[in-house]
Amino acid sequence: MKLLRCHIENFGKLSKFNYEFNEGLNTIKEENGFGKTTFADFIKAMFYGLEAKRTTKVLIDRKKYMPWQGGAFGGNIEFELNGNKYKVERFFGKKEADDVFKLYDLNTNLESTDFSENLGEEIFKLNKEAYERSTFISGQNIETSMNDSLSAKLGNILENENDINTSERAIKALDDAIKNYKKTGGRGEINEKILEKSKLEKKLQQSQIDEKTLQERKEQYKNLKERTKEKEDEKEKYQADLTNLMQQEAKKAKFDQYQILNGNLEESKKNLEQYKEKIKNDNDIKNKIELNQKKSNNLSANITTLEKKIEKISTINNILLIIFLILGVLGVFLTISQSIKIGIPLCIISIIFLIIFIIKKVSLNNLKNDCINKKQEKTNLDNLNETLNNVYEKQEKEKKTEINRLENEYRIKLKMKETYEKENNIREITNINNITLDQIDKEEIESKLNILTNELNQLNDEKNYNKNQIEILESNLDTVFEVENDIEEVSQKINEMKQNCEILEKTKKYLEKAKEQFSSHYLNNMKESFIKNLILINEKEMDIDLDVNLEAKINEQGSNKEIRYFSTGYQDLIYICMRLSLIDALFEEEKPFIILDDPFVNLDENKMKNALSLLEELSKEYQIIYFVCHESRNAHILK
């Protein structure tokens, strides 16, 4: 198989990049930063794609090689296989579902179905991890180790691209199954079942103990019932004494209550009679009102008499005044008219009438004043009587109210007595007087009752606790038969699990042995090629062993030492030779192309020269794509 040409549309920093591959050795020498590793990863991506598992480095590559300048992410590569020429196109998206894969047959330029998008696995019969451990040799990851895909390929047991030996997964599955049975720290299924059996056996032992405890509990329960009965009988006796005593106290209380009712009734009756006697002679205000009324009546008569006199005198005065005026005017007129003899006497007579008028007027005024005084006195007496009447009416109302209250109180207390007599045996109550109550005896009885109550409560608590324990123990004993059956079942299960685990352990042992035997048949040829390449580069023999897991150990001073104890240059030398011998063993017929991404960086000058000579020799059989950045590691430069 060989590569013909490629076109990188966009992949990392490489854009619009084309390259024509030659047969044999293709040395690509460019400065650091050109994109040599990117180019190598592009070739690998064309055959294996870019996965999108977050736990792998591939996701980092997908993000790492996303075009810096934008545009389509991917390209194509042409290759020749078994005389046929193909072109594979891959363009990548942000996730695997967005990727596009196409394969063309260059003879017809039509899409080919000879291979699927799992192109690398179908051509090389290796998964991606095995490919990176074999024909894809990078200075950043030069180590190698065995996996199922490499083992299957080396054993030539692959009939198609999907027939990959899963011995490692089978061994791991067996190991996981064994660990399930025998986990560390006693957490395996067998130990869990043993623990379960131990618990069941303890439960059975406990059941035997419980059976003895049950008999003891039943005996205790019987004794507690007897003691409880004795205490209840004793309490019942004291309770009867206390009840009798309380009945006597109740009768005494009823008698005392009856006495109180009688006393209250007598007191109410006495209060009523005393009040009636008190108000019977209480007539002072009434007498005053009658006396004042008499005085008022007398004053009314006097006022009437005075008013008649005043009216009479007023009439006389009016007549006297008229006569005075007439005689006076006439006398003055006659005197003026020279009738002196008649005029003067008339004037004298008119003056006499005036004097009489004045005297009568004074008498009339005195009568009027006397009448006014009499009226004022009568008004005062009437006002006083009105006030006294109000007071009298109020007192009478209050007396009536008080009498009603006292009479109502008497009736209520009489009703209470009569009701009490109806509700109680009065004869029995009235004969209680001779009963005497001993308060000390009552207190002693109550004290003993309290003590007995507390003792009974405690006994009942103990009895209930024992009853509950008896029920629990009886319930536990009911499951003894079930526990015995469970123990037998668990024991049987433990034996089965131990047998299964033993079978798994033997299967794992035989499978590992078979795998070692299966792998050993290709080890001799691979070791021969490995030693040959090692001598060619190192120019001296080395006592080195290679096991079926592709782990090398160097024998120095009588002991095997792992290569990690040697220098980086020595380690790289061994790994490069191991890779080359692995490629020879893997591909006996159709030879693949080999990608070398500057793997000789840690070799010294002499070994570097020998390694390049080895590449020249290998290029006669393999197409080699060799990436290098320094002239000292350059075999030749292809333009």
- Is the pLDDT score of 332 beyond 60? yes
How confident is the model at residue 43, as a pLDDT?
94
Mean pLDDT taken over the chain: 79
- Burial pattern 473-496, b for ≥16 Cβ within 10 A else e, equals beebeeeeeebeebbeebeeebee
How confident is the model at residue 256, as a pLDDT?
84
One domain for residues 195 and 342: no
Expressed as residue numbers, the domain containing 209 is: 191-273+438-478
One domain for residues 595 and 542: yes
Share of the chain above pLDDT 70, in %: 78
One domain for residues 446 and 330: no
- Is the pLDDT score of 111 beyond 90? yes
H/E segment holding residue 288: helix 284-336
Confidence band for 76, pLDDT divided at 50, 70 and 90: very high
Confidence band for 384, pLDDT divided at 50, 70 and 90: confident
Paired residues of 19 in beta bridges: 6
Greatest CA separation for the chain:
214
Task: Give the least confident one: 190-194, 350-354, 493-497.
Answer: 190-194
How confident is the model at residue 519, as a pLDDT?
52
One domain for residues 62 and 25: yes
Would residue 493 count as lying in a domain? no
Predicted confidence (pLDDT) per residue in 353-381, tens digit: 888 888 888 888 888 888 888 888 888 88
What CATH number should be reported for the domain holding residue 548?
A: 3.40.50.300
One domain for residues 628 and 523: yes
Would residue 489 count as lying in a domain? no
More confident: 72 or 565: 72
* End-to-end alpha carbon distance in the chain: 22
How confident is the model at residue 545, as a pLDDT?
61
Distance from C-alpha of 371 to C-alpha of 366, rounded to nearest angstrom:
8
Confidence band for 58, pLDDT divided at 50, 70 and 90: very low
How confident is the model at residue 102, as a pLDDT?
95
User: Domain ends where: 430, 462, 491?
Assistant: 430
More confident: 637 or 124: 124
Q: Locate tokens 């005062």: which residue?
A: 380
One domain for residues 451 and 516: no
Averaged pLDDT, 98-113: 94
More confident: 143 or 155: 143
Would residue 601 count as lying in a domain? yes
Would residue 491 count as lying in a domain? no
One domain for residues 161 and 17: yes
Task: Give the least confident one: 94-103, 165-174, 370-379, 472-481.
Answer: 165-174
One domain for residues 151 and 15: yes
User: Domain ends where: 430, 450, 468?
Assistant: 430
User: Domain ends where: 418, 446, 478?
Assistant: 478
Question: By CB neighbour count within 10 A (0-12 exposed, 13-18 middle, 19+ buried), where does 355 fall?
Answer: exposed
Predicted confidence (pLDDT) per residue in 574-608, tens digit: 777 777 777 777 777 778 998 888 777 777 777 77
Averaged pLDDT, 254-275: 86
One domain for residues 314 and 449: no
State how many domains the chain has: 3
- Which amino acid type is present at position 245? L
Helices (H) and strands (E) in the chain, counts: 14, 13
HEC per residue, 139-204? CCECCCCCCHHHHHHHCCCCCCCCCCCCHHHHHHHHHHHHHHHCCHHHCCHHHHHHHHHHHHHHHH
Would residue 494 count as lying in a domain? no
One domain for residues 293 and 147: no
Task: Give the least confident one: 124-133, 148-157, 325-334, 367-376.
Answer: 148-157
Would residue 638 count as lying in a domain? no
One domain for residues 425 and 473: no
Distance from C-alpha of 50 to C-alpha of 69, rounded to nearest angstrom:
20
Would residue 549 count as lying in a domain? yes
Q: What is the DSSP letter of 30?
A: -
H/E segment holding residue 521: helix 480-538
Give the distance, in angstroms, between the CA of residue 430 and the centroid of all CA atoms in the same chain: 73
Would residue 534 count as lying in a domain? yes
Share of the chain above pLDDT 90, in %: 12
How confident is the model at residue 55, as a pLDDT?
46
Confidence band for 56, pLDDT divided at 50, 70 and 90: very low
How confident is the model at residue 167, as a pLDDT?
59
Predicted confidence (pLDDT) per residue in 94-103, tens digit: 888 889 999 9
Averaged pLDDT, 232-253: 82
How confident is the model at residue 48, as a pLDDT?
92
Averaged pLDDT, 224-253: 84
How confident is the model at residue 159, as a pLDDT?
37
How confident is the model at residue 637, as a pLDDT?
36
One domain for residues 135 and 204: no
